[in-house]
């Protein structure tokens, strides 16, 4: 009897986090019949990253309470996971990847979802510092929790006053630590928000008993008998049992670069998340992509971008012609305060503050470029976030005077230019 | 212990039992189609939208202000809509039927 063995195509994914995992499940939703195999260096079943600096850090939960998908879900959808496996190279000519144990895996379609890693700045003495951690993985959280539990004095210095640094400060404070945040810029969150927002968060942390210092350029860490002195260029120094580094990320682009995949501030992809190789897609934190709303190329570090690009790439791999055209959004939770952001504020000419009568922990900052609404940051104000989303999506003309007037009822119809 | 029934957009009905966690976690754990839970359950993404069967509205209780506001993002939201990451599994939910939103 003649047996015809039909070879199913295989889609191989490098990186099984928000982007890679959503891609795999989206492929099945789009009807991909072939195999799907995900590789990740992290040995843990893929988990949500945002809670790592927020609720998960303060809980006693194991990572099993924080998974992107259950183990059974992968089985049910016939998605193979190779965890604790690092990919070491890509051979585009033979459509093959090599793993760090030397074995190889062929692909028909390859998805690069390798994300990013924390920057460890070249500070003198940083390699020998005791209990110094970044915060990107479940293992990092375990280390931080252990170090905190083992420390009596619990003095934590956080280098970097961005979202991750500030969220970690709030969480560790809740766990009883004495927390100091050192920010190099003149204000915290300088890269991502207006001064009004920076002031709000600086005040919030101060009220909660966290010391936030700006203009602090850390130049050296001196460690003696297990105790760190964190030294700044202005001569000040801070004692730390534990140091957390939160100064930004670097894209994991090396594998792609050595395979000749085009880079430009990340992996360069088109509107279908495809690279310069038609069989290789890239999604998530590692990509540099075009955003039609803002008419420019951007790199985003957000769950929204990872999930939405995953859906676009999955549709494209299944032969459709999707176009990535979504509005960026993001959130941050610190002490019971909820920040929600939509849009990109870069290039704004001015802001409009919208306060809600009788509640100073509920307001929103609206970023305009002349008449055009670019972005909204909403504090404890999901309504502002939702209205802002609709206005930006619709390209609506907002009446800035009415918006700023808290006696005008907060409804879309009331806020537009007649 | 509460029995919770999800009806997916393909009209598949799945009944699950649980005694803790949120309804979103239960759904994701069991791969219920259409419940993504992208924000991990902090009422930030609105990808866990369900419609409570009208006769079960009392079991679910009332949505918080932020949840109601977030539901406005979705044009398919109605008076029975909930973000199920905000529904804690308790005995009170026993027997509830939830239709996954389109
Ligand atoms: C503490 C923290 C808080 C955050 N809070 C928020 C928030 O509130 N809201 C929000 O929207 N976003 C938040 N983010 C950002 C969000 O988590 C990221 O945007 C998201 O994880 C990006 O997903 P990704 O899959 O593109 O990349 P990553 O999550 O970086 O995943 C990449 C994966 O690839 C693997 N990998 C890399 N190279 C290799 C290799 N050679 N071989 C095998 N595997 C490899 C890595 O191990 C990793 O698991 C937060 C991030 C952190 C760290
Ligand atoms: S899981 Fe994000 S809003 Fe419910």
pLDDT digits over A377-403, tens only? 999 999 999 999 999 999 999 999 999
- pLDDT tens-place string over residues A268-295: 999 999 999 999 999 999 999 999 999 9
Please list, in sequence order, all residues whose beta carbon lies within 8 angstroms of the beta carbon of residue A191, skipping any fewer than 6 positions away: A162, A185
A308 and A272, same structural domain? yes
pLDDT digit string, tens, across residues A59-69:
998 999 899 99
3-state SS of A41-57?
A: CCCCCCECCHHHHCHHH
Q: Is A144 found in the same domain as A133?
A: yes
A395 falls within a domain:
yes
Residue of chain A minimizing CA distance to B72: A386
Q: Is the pLDDT of residue A6 over 80?
A: no
A81-130 pLDDT, tens digit each: 999 999 999 999 999 999 999 999 999 999 999 999 999 999 999 999 99
The tally of CA atoms less than 13 A away on the side-chain side of residue B37 is 27
CATH number at residue A240: 3.50.50.60
B-chain CB neighbours of A50 within 8 Å are 39-40, 42
Residue B86's domain comprises: 2-100
Decide: A309 and A283 in contact? Cβ < 8 Å: yes
Instruction: State chain B's mean pLDDT as an integer.
Output: 96
Residue at A326 is within a domain: no
Residues A147 and A237 in one domain: yes
> Over 90: is that where the pLDDT of A407 sits?
yes
Which residues are paired to A244 by β-bridges?
A133, A158
User: Of A196, A216, A247, which residue is a domain's last?
Assistant: A247
Going from the Cα of B36 to the center of ligand 2, the distance in angstroms, rounded, reads: 8
* Chain-chain contact of B38 with A303 (C-beta, under 8 angstroms): yes
Last residue within a domain, chosen from A247, A269, A292: A247
At A359, the pLDDT band (50, 70, 90 cuts) reads confident
- Per CB-CB distance under 8 Å, the chain B contacts of A51 are 40, 42
Which of B29, B40, B66 lies nearest to residue A382, judging by beta carbons?
B66
Mean pLDDT of A149-173: 98
Q: Is residue A82 situated within a structural domain? A: yes
Ligand nearest the Cα of residue A50 is 1
* A137 DSSP 8-state letter: S
Task: Give the tens place of pLDDT for each residue, B6-65.
Answer: 999 999 999 999 999 999 999 999 999 999 999 999 999 999 999 999 999 999 999 999
Residues A363 and A305 in one domain: no
Based on the fold, state whether residues A138 and A243 are members of the same structural domain. Answer: yes
Which ligand sits nearest to residue B43's alpha carbon? 2
Establish if A4 belongs to a structural domain: no
Q: Cα A400 from chain centroid?
A: 31
User: pLDDT value at position B81?
Assistant: 97
Q: Residue A13 corresponds to which tokens in the numbers above? A: 């994914």
Kindly give the distance from the C-alpha atom of residue A59 to the centroid of ligand 2, in angstroms, as a whole number: 19
Please give the Cα distance from A19 to A180 (Å, whole number): 33
Give CA–CA dist A304/A286, Å, rounded: 14
Please state the domain count of chain B: 1
For A197, the 3-state DSSP assignment is helix
Partners of A156 in the beta sheet? A179, A242
Range of the domain at A226: 126-247
Q: Categorise residue A275: left if φ over 0, alpha if ψ from -120 to 50, beta otherwise.
A: beta
Give the mean model confidence (pLDDT) for residues A36-56.
97
Contact A122, A217 (CB under 8 A): no
> Would the pLDDT of A356 be above 70?
yes
CA A96 to chain centre: 29
Q: Are B48 and B83 in contact (CB under 8 A)?
A: yes
Number of compact structural domains in chain A = 3
CATH number of the domain encompassing residue A368: 3.30.390.30
Q: Following DSSP, what letter does each residue of A359-405 receive, concatenated?
A: EEEEEEEEEEETTEEEEEEEES-HHHHHHHHHHHHHT--B-HHHHH-
Write the ipTM.
0.95
Same domain, A289 and A397: no
The DSSP annotation for A342-354 comes to: EE--TT--EEEEE
Candidates B73, B85, B86: best to mutate against A (most CBs of A within 10 A) is B73
* Rounded Cα distance, A323 and A289, in Å: 11
Q: Do B30 and A70 touch (CB under 8 A)?
A: yes
- Domain end, chosen from A207, A223, A247, is at A247
């Amino acid at each position: 009897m003649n047996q015809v063995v039909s070879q199913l195509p295989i889609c191989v994914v490098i990186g099984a986090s928000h982007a890679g995992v959503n891609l795999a499940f989206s492929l099945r939703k789009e009807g991909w019949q072939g195999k799907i195999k995900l590789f990740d260096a992290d040995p843990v079943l893929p988990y949500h990253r945002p809670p790592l600096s927020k609720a998960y850090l303060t809980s006693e939960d194991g990572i099993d309470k924080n998974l992107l998908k259950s183990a059974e879900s992968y089985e049910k959808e016939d998605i193979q996971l190779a965890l604790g496996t690092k990919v070491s190279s890509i051979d585009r000519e033979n459509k093959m990847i090599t793993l760090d144990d030397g074995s190889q895996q062929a692909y028909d379609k390859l998805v690069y979802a390798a994300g990013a890693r924390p920057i460890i700045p070249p500070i003198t003495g940083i390699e020998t510092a005791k209990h110094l951690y970044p915060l990107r993985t479940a293992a990092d959280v375990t280390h931080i929790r252990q170090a905190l539990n083992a420390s009596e004095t619990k003095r934590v210095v956080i280098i970097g006053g961005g979202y991750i640094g500030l969220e970690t400060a709030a969480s560790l404070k809740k766990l009883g630590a004495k927390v100091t945040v050192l920010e190099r810029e003149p204000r915290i969150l300088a890269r991502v928000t207006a001064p009004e927002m920076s002031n709000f968060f600086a005040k919030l942390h101060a009220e909660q008993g966290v010391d936030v210092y700006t203009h602090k350029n850390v130049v050296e860490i001196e460690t003696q008998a297990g105790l760190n002195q964190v030294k700044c260029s202005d001569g000040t120094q801070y004692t730390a049992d534990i140091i957390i580094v939160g100064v930004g990320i670097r894209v994991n682009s090396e594998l792609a670069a050595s395979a000749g995949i085009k880079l430009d501030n990340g992996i360069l992809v088109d509107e279908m998340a495809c690279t310069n190789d038609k069989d290789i897609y890239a999604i998530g934190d590692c990509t540099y992509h075009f955003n039609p709303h803002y008419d420019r190329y951007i790199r985003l570090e957000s769950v929204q971008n990872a999930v939405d690009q995953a859906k676009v790439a999955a549709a494209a791999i299944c032969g459709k012609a999707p176009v990535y055209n979504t509005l960026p959004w993001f959130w941050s939770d610190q002490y019971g305060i909820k920040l929600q952001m939509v849009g990109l504020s870069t290039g704004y000419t001015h802001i409009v503050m919208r306060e809600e009568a009788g509640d100073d922990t509920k307001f929103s900052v609206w970023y305009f470029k002349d008449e055009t609404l670019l972005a909204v940051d909403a504090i404890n104000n999901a309504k502002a976030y939702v209205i802002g989303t609709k206005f930006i999506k619709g390209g609506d003309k907002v009446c800035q005077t009415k918006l700023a007037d808290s006696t005008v009822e907060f409804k879309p119809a009331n806020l537009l230019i007649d | 212990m509460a029995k919770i029934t999800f009806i997916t957009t393909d009209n598949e009905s799945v009944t699950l039992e649980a005694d803790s966690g949120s309804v979103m976690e239960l759904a994701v754990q069991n791969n219920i189609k259409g419940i993504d839970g992208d924000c991990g359950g902090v009422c930030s993404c609105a990808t866990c939208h369900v419609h409570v069967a009208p006769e079960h509205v009392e079991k679910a209780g009332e949505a918080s202000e932020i949840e109601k506001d977030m539901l406005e993002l979705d044009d398919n939201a109605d008076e029975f809509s909930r973000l199920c990451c905000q529904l804690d599994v308790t005995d009170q939910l026993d027997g509830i039927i939830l239709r996954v939103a389109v």
